[in-house]
């Protein structure tokens, strides 16, 4: 078979959650939150990180479908996954919910990944491995992990058989299939009354299903004890943001750097107060969480920002960073100007920037230099600033 060209994920979130109702306060497990978002959205986020993916189908309980359609739209507005999606109603059984999801697939879809929202920690690399396995002409590919315990078949309390452990595997989702054999398997299951617990057991009756190594962390939230996994701390990684800004001399704005007025300095052309250093710093902070640049948030065409205090704008950017889970830990700042002399103001600028960032002064560095009378600043036409910000960002 040809390489999958239009894979779509069907995310099953249609369970009633009755087995865990006491432990969750009646909230179905697919709606439980981790790192600020519902479990089903964690799975959607994972699929969106696979370049080959072309769409998502969410399956919710019939009574929740309209409400959850609005919730998916809200989540996607806040964090655009870059994939088209559909929301459909589930059925009485798992296989009925999958069949409803298949009916909502785009006609271009050639590959389907069926995934349980109760497995929120599957990785993008696992999805890629499943799609790669389908390249080898298998009709289906599933994640499987070795069974660590000896398994026995029993009737009542009597052991009737000890199974060969080396031949046993515990399987997970997502499970990947070429669309045609999966749809045919569901058609046969409906016509012939098959009762199954996963989609692979259907497709196995029609063709070959292969396995890829599963992931120990790809656990299913099934019992009250599993809820402890949702209490684990999110991961923290170090990130860096870079900022640059420039302003022309000769304007009417008095020169301010890092929120500190520079007496006798050249006037600045600017829409806001023209603090080139805080503008570069704000851009660097935005860079720590992919927040764009200050021009997109505070455009110079907006009269509301006429003469705006850059310290206030910086605080707004810091709030954005906080909401994105980024904590600023260090800033290294440089101003490039032939004039005025900034050495007398260096300590005050450093102190004020540290205050604005809520950092000890030892975590803020400030430097000033010239370009040896070369170029834009060397000819005293303007001033530049660059900023490098280090931060710790929290991720699910």
Is the model's pLDDT at 18 over the cut of 60? no
The reported pLDDT for the residue numbered 192 is: 94
Q: Quickly tell me which residue has 């007398």 as its tokens.
A: 344
The reported pLDDT for the residue numbered 51 is: 86
d(CA 181, CA 187): 10
**Rounded mean pLDDT, 317-323:** 91
Nearest CA to 387 out of 334, 344, 327, 336 is that of 334
First-to-last CA distance in the chain? 36
The residue among 203 and 19 whose pLDDT is bigger is 203
**Rounded mean pLDDT, 375-386:** 95
According to DSSP, the residues that pair with 327 across neighbouring strands are: 392
**Rounded mean pLDDT, 70-91:** 94
Mean residue pLDDT across the chain: 91
Buried b (16+ CB within 10 A) or exposed e, 137-158: ebbbbbbbeeeeeeeeeeeeee
The reported pLDDT for the residue numbered 245 is: 96
Burial of residue 315 (number of CB atoms within 10 Å: 0-12, 13-18, 19+): middle
CATH of domain 7-231: 3.90.550.10
Three-state SS string across the chain, please?
CCCCCCEEEEEECCCCCHHHHHHHCCCCHHHCEECCEEHHHHHHHHHHCCCCCCEEEEEECHHHHHHHHHHHHHHHHHCCCCCCEEEEECCCCHHHHHHHHHHCCCCCCCEEEEEECCCCCCCHHHHHHHHHHHCCCCCEEEEEEECCCCCEEEECCEEEEECCHHHCEEECCCEEEEHHHHHHHHHHHHHHCCCCCCCHHHHCCCCCEEEEECCCCCCCCCCHHHHHHHHCCCEEEEEEEEEEEEEEEEEEECCEECCEECCCCCCECCCCCCCHHHHHHHHHHHHCCCCCCHHHHCCCCCHHHCCCCHHHHHHHHHHHHHHCCEEEEEEEEEEECCCCCCHHHHHHHHHHHHHHHCCCHHHEEEEEECCCCCHHHHCCCEEEEEEEEEEEEEEC
pLDDT digits (tens, 9 = 90+) for 211-260: 999 998 898 987 777 777 776 556 789 999 999 999 999 999 999 999 99
pLDDT digits (tens, 9 = 90+) for 109-153: 999 999 999 999 999 999 999 999 987 678 999 999 999 899 999
pLDDT digits (tens, 9 = 90+) for 271-286: 899 999 999 999 999 9
CATH of domain 235-395: 3.30.1330.50
The reported pLDDT for the residue numbered 32 is: 85
The reported pLDDT for the residue numbered 334 is: 98
Range(s) of the chain covered by CATH 3.30.1330.50: 235-395
The reported pLDDT for the residue numbered 171 is: 95
According to DSSP, the residues that pair with 333 across neighbouring strands are: 366, 387
Range(s) of the chain covered by CATH 3.90.550.10: 7-231
pLDDT digits (tens, 9 = 90+) for 321-331: 988 889 999 99
pLDDT digits (tens, 9 = 90+) for 174-194: 999 999 999 999 999 999 999
The model's confidence at residue 23, banded by pLDDT at 50, 70 and 90, is low
Is the model's pLDDT at 15 over the cut of 90? no
pLDDT digits (tens, 9 = 90+) for 142-173: 999 999 899 999 999 999 999 999 999 999 99
Residue percentage of the chain with pLDDT more than 90: 76
The reported pLDDT for the residue numbered 3 is: 59
The model's confidence at residue 348, banded by pLDDT at 50, 70 and 90, is very high
Buried b (16+ CB within 10 A) or exposed e, 260-279: bebeebbebebbbbbbbbbb
The residue among 99 and 227 whose pLDDT is bigger is 99
d(CA 263, CA 202): 79
Q: What is the pTM of this model?
A: 0.64
Pair 123, 45: CB distance under 8 Å: no
């Amino acid at each position: 078979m040809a390489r999958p060209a239009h894979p779509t994920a069907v995310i099953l979130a249609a369970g009633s959650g009755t087995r865990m109702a006491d432990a969750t306060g009646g909230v179905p497990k697919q709606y439980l939150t981790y790192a600020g978002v519902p479990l089903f959205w964690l799975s959607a986020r994972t699929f969106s990180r696979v370049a080959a993916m072309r769409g998502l189908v969410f399956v919710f309980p019939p009574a929740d479908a309209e409400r959850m359609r609005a919730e998916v739209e809200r989540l996607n507005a806040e964090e655009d996954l870059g994939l088209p999606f559909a929301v459909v109603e589930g059925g009485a059984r798992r296989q009925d919910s999958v069949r409803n999801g298949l009916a909502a697939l785009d006609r271009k879809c050639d590959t389907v990944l069926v995934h349980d929202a109760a497995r929120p920690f599957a990785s993008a690399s696992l999805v890629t491995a499943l799609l790669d396995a389908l390249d080898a002409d298998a009709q289906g590919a599933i994640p499987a992990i070795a069974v660590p315990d000896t398994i026995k078949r029993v009737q009542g309390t009597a052991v009737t058989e000890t199974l060969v452990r080396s031949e046993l595997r515990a399987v997970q989702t997502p499970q990947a299939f070429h669309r045609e054999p999966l749809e045919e398997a569901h058609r046969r299951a409906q016509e012939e009354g098959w009762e199954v617990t996963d989609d692979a057991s259907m497709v196995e009756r029609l063709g070959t299903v292969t396995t890829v190594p599963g992931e120990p962390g790809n656990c299913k939230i099934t019992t009250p004890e599993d809820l402890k996994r949702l209490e684990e701390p999110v991961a923290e990684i170090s990130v860096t943001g870079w900022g640059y800004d420039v302003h022309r001399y000769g304007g009417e704005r008095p020169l301010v750097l890092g929120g500190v007025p520079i007496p006798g300095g050249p006037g600045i052309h600017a829409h806001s107060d023209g603090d080139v250093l805080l503008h570069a710093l704000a851009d660097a902070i935005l860079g720590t969480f992919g927040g764009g640049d200050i021009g997109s948030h505070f455009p110079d065409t907006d009269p509301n920002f006429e003469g705006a205090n850059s310290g206030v704008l910086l605080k707004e950017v810091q709030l954005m960073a906080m909401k994105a889970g980024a904590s600023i830990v260090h800033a290294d700042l440089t101003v490039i100007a032939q004039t005025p002399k900034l050495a007398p103001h260096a300590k005050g600028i450093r102190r004020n920037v540290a205050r604005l960032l809520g950092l000890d002064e030892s975590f803020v560095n400030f430097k000033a230099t010239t370009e040896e009378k070369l170029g834009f600043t060397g000819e005293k036409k303007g001033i530049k600033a660059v900023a490098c910000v280090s931060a710790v960002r929290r991720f699910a």
